[in-house]
Structure 1
Amino acid sequence: MAPLPRGIRRAPALGRIRRTLLVALVTAAVTVPVAGAARPADVPAPAPAAAAPLTSSEPTALAAELTARYAAGRAAVRAAERTAEAYGAHRRAASLHRMAAPGRQFLSFDGRDGGRSAEVVGDLARADLIAVLVPGADTGLDAYDRFHRGATALHDTVRRQTGRRVAVVAWLGYRTPATGSAASLTPGRAAQAAPRLRALARELIRIRPGARITLLGHSYGSVVCAHAAAGLPVAAVVLYGSPGTGFDRVAELRTRAAVWAGRAADDWVGSVPPVRVPLLPGTELGFGTDPVDPAFGARTFAAGDGGHSDYLVPGSVPLRNLAAITAGKEPSRA
């Protein structure tokens, strides 16, 4: 077995135990079939029409461009709904039907390969504060409602706290791994997703050059944010419910943004061993230093007593603090 990466300090015996545990988890994820499990990526969908680029940063002109983009996004959702219904994927079709409701705003949508989307909650054309929410494992079109509720809760909380114009972009821009799968234990999908998240962030910076932009990654989404952060002129990167990032310290993210980390007291992800184990060339198992560990170097915020899925619950401690960070205010500290 290759040695642990430099910077991870632990008793040798404990390190061996943790590495053995992670290898066992990956082996189980790869070799144990899930009887009768649905494969959301298998549900077909038509290719969406090419989206018109956003060219203006002037609010009135940008609003008109966004209106056209949202109409195209809704049309793509409806086309995917029809295809899913014809295929017999009734759960997917029902979810897509809700997503196509009047007032929903999709900057982009592609129902293929499990689904990719970017939905806006709020008035992006005039927003002073923009939050980009990046979800973790098990988030997809079949279970999209929870992700949308979280984005709405963050939007409403920031607006109540500040009275300012805010937009939240719920970015499902990658194929999220299943919890406990081999893909959820390595940073491979995050590295693949990062360029797309960077492209979105740069588009937001271009069309709203004066806005404060924050990236917020939950669970595996924090790995995506960490891989996308380098050089992006965003105000903050928030890692919450994070298993680690694939980096051992904040400096390795190569960002000038404020990096925040928080974990709820009853979040099971705190039991994930903070190791990185080389496997095949170019592949690692695990995510390295715990982001709430002082050794990582992030600023930490209070995340309450909830579980792994409770960070965006309306009225909760972590939601109030995520909203404060989005607004550039000081959260309550851990």
Structure 2
Amino acid sequence: MKTEHKDVIIIGAGPIGIACALECKKRGWNYTVIEKGALTNSLYNYPLNMTFFSTSEKLEIDDIPFISNNPKPTRSEALEYYRRVTTSNQLHINLFEEVQSFEKTADGFTVISDKNSYNTKKVIIATGFYDIPNLLNIPGENLPKVLHYYKEAHPYTLQNIAIVGASNSSVDAALEIYRKGGHVTMIIRNDTIGERVKYWVRPDIINRIEEGSIKAYFNSNITEIKPNKIIVKTPNGTITLPNDFVIALTGYRPNFKFLAKAGIELSTDGKQIPIYNSETMESNVEGIYLAGVICGGLETHKWFIENSRVHAKTIANHIEKTIN
């Protein structure tokens, strides 16, 4: 395997990884972005009809205009925007290539992927959190009918669907499936629909629940999943419901094992927030920087595209002072 020499390796080709690549290009650095999936892989895996909470100008990177047909852009518009930013600027991005190991060297790092080897002075980790779902850890969760990602409603027409959770993704899935003829039941561990649900959607789901179009069990949990039913613990006792599919949209978490490979420490307060300098975005490992939502650890609601896109310039400014 031939070793390539780089100034900067960026891991993750989401919006923030792309923003970091733009900053490297401006400064004439020899950089490469490594992405284990497709371009903006997390956005690609969002539901087909998803609408962002943010307006298009808040999703822009490097002051490149994001033109949307509506105030709130859709998944397809975002994919097109970030693709055009990437191709128009001829950014150096290796897709479907996965980093496997890190090693600190005298003048930087050796980064080994499943396809290449790199010697680099600096590393930027912008891997997000969407690849690893929070599991229910209950019997039957490994059945084929249990899903932790939702794409579209059509397969669930005329089926008994249990949706676990009350976040934006859970509510969107419940409403879409209900309107495509699915029989939807929401299993919610808290006593209400999530407060962070999009303000124009929250009244809709509450009304559908109140009128009985969508069933909801609050302060409840699935305790077991069986091929054609689920067992649910409710405040009024344990019940059995007929079931064809379980869509468990219980959130996601960063790849902490990957961070550990890089030597990055995590907070011990239960939030598992990676250790980094908020003024430079440099982690506890000198020369490794963190960018985007991965900075929040288990607090995955803390960082978004709109408030973490500044990380790219912050990191580049600090690297500029230290790179040879």
What is the TM-score with the length of structure 2 in the denominator? 0.31
Using CA pairs under 8 Å that are at least 6 residues apart, name the structure with larger relative contact order, 1 or 2.
Answer: 2
The structure having more radius of gyration, on CA atoms, is 2
Per the normalisation by structure 1, the TM-score is 0.30
Indicate the structure with greater helix content: 1
Say which structure is richer in strand. 2
